[in-house]
Amino acid sequence: MIQAYAEGQDTPGMARSSTACGLAEHGRDGHWGIAREMVSARGGAVWAAWTEDEVPCCFAKEACPKTGLTPQGACDLFSEHPGVCSFALDATLAEDPWRAGRIDAALKVLSACDLHDQQTVHAAAHDATLLTWDELRAGIWTFLPDSDQAAVYRLISRTNSVRTMKPHAVVGHARDITEVTRLWSSSSPCRLAHGELAESHTAILEALPSEWQVKVLGGQRLPDGAAPRTPLGEALREASRQAGTGQAPPSAGRNWEVDWDRQRDRETGARVLDRLSHLPDGWRVDAMRRITAGTNALSAVSDAFTAINIICAYDVRLAWNARNRPRRVPA
Ligand SMILES: [Zn+2]
Ligand SMILES: [Zn+2]
């Protein structure tokens, strides 16, 4: 048995990545997800096993030897796994020539949601999001970076709240799904826009002393009054420059209005940093991508925690191994 370690690169600690359960629908017994593929002629992988209340344990497992009817139909699970083989599971997701058309039709309804009744809009949100997920899983899902899978899970988690969203939010949701549907076009780089930028922002942020991280994140709020928000990239560059010369973030001055703002930014920044540092890697990069795009930092991290709590209703069981993991929403 191998317990997963490493909180950050080269740092001992608990695992920071997440994995979703790969088994067919099952009860409350253990979940299994791939932690890492093994590089060997015989294949196999290190699998994380967990239950709802435990941190995962890792086991090296040989690949399931069973194959389906087609030569490509090998099982993606491990030898003697519970439940049906993945090829039997994937059969329900197999390429469906009508699916893309149904997604387009649903997205059209969402983009003009004020012309339709609530029931139609809700059904369209369901189709657009879940059929998009099916189409990805029938094709490129396993090739997507963790942060893009997190982005898709976040969209899935919003499916049911579409009924209470304002029209502009529904249109925004449709726009986000449309961006995901571009992933399966042949010219797509198979990754959502600005993912690499978000990864580099995450790395720069984490290299800063924590008081500077708090300062940068605290400034990533929606502008109110006269103070415009410094874009994340710029704020990070400036903080790196000043931290590099050994400076501490500016402290209270003589202007009480500025002091009050700074104090509030520090408090918010500390909350954002705490939540951000407890998210699995991919979710953290997805939150940073949203902050880069202008979302209020506190909303971006809170949305990630909410999404992780909701997606279990869609049978996505994440191995959650960060400390202070989000509490489950009471049923
Ligand atoms: Zn499971
Ligand atoms: Zn199998």
Phi and psi at 88, nearest 5°, equal -70, -35
Cα 26 to chain centroid distance, Å, stands at 23
Tell me the sheet residues that pair with 37: 45
Q: Which one of the ligands is nearest to 24 CA?
A: 1
The pair of structure tokens assigned to 278 is 């407890």
> Of the ligands numbered here, which is closest to the C-alpha atom of 27?
1
Do residues 110 and 171 make contact, with C-beta atoms less than 8 angstroms apart? yes
Residue 31 CA to ligand 1 center (angstroms) comes to 4
Ligand 2 centroid – CA 63 distance (Å): 8
Q: Answer yes or no: is pLDDT of 331 > 90.
A: no
Report the separation in Å between the CA atom of 149 and the middle of ligand 1, taken as the mean of its atom positions: 17
**Residue 133 Cα, ligand 2 centroid: separation in angstroms?**
22
**Average pLDDT across the chain, whole number:** 86
Which ligand sits closest to the CA of 29?
1
pLDDT of residue 254: 57
Which two three-digit tokens encode residue 224? 């109110």
CA of 21 to the centre of ligand 1 (A): 5
166-175 long-range contacts, CB within 8 A, separation 24+? 167/113, 167/114, 170/110, 170/113, 170/121, 170/125, 171/110, 171/111, 171/113, 173/110, 173/125, 174/107, 174/110, 174/111, 174/113, 174/128, 175/111
Please, which pLDDT band fits residue 41 given cuts at 50, 70 and 90? confident
Q: How far is the CA of 1 from the centre of ligand 2 (A)?
A: 21
Radius of gyration of the chain, Cα coordinates, nearest whole angstrom: 22
Sign of CA dihedral 247, 252, 255, 256: positive
Going from the Cα of 111 to the center of ligand 1, the distance in angstroms, rounded, reads 35
Over 60: is that where the pLDDT of 36 sits? yes
Strand, coil or helix: 313: helix
Using pLDDT thresholds of 50, 70 and 90, give the confidence band for residue 15.
low
DSSP 3-state of 91: helix
Q: Minimal CA–CA distance to 329: which of 310, 301, 316?
A: 310
Number of the ligand closest to the Cα of 22: 1
DSSP annotation of 50 reads E
Q: How far, in Å, is the centroid of ligand 1 from the Cα of 83?
A: 10
Which stretch, 31-45, 48-62, 64-78, 119-133, has highest mean pLDDT?
Answer: 119-133
Q: How far is the CA of 53 from the centre of ligand 1 (A)?
A: 13
Q: How far is the CA of 88 from the centre of ligand 2 (A)?
A: 9
Reported as a pLDDT band with limits 50, 70 and 90, residue 43 is confident
Query: Does pLDDT of 186 surpass 80?
Result: yes
pLDDT at residue 229 in the model = 86
What are 48-85's pLDDT values in tens digits? 898 877 778 889 999 999 887 766 678 889 999 998 88
* Extents of the domains making up the chain: 1-86, 99-184, 195-314
Mention every residue, 6+ apart, whose C-beta is less than 8 A from residue 286.
147, 148, 150, 151, 154, 198, 304
178-182, 216-220, 263-267: least confident range: 263-267
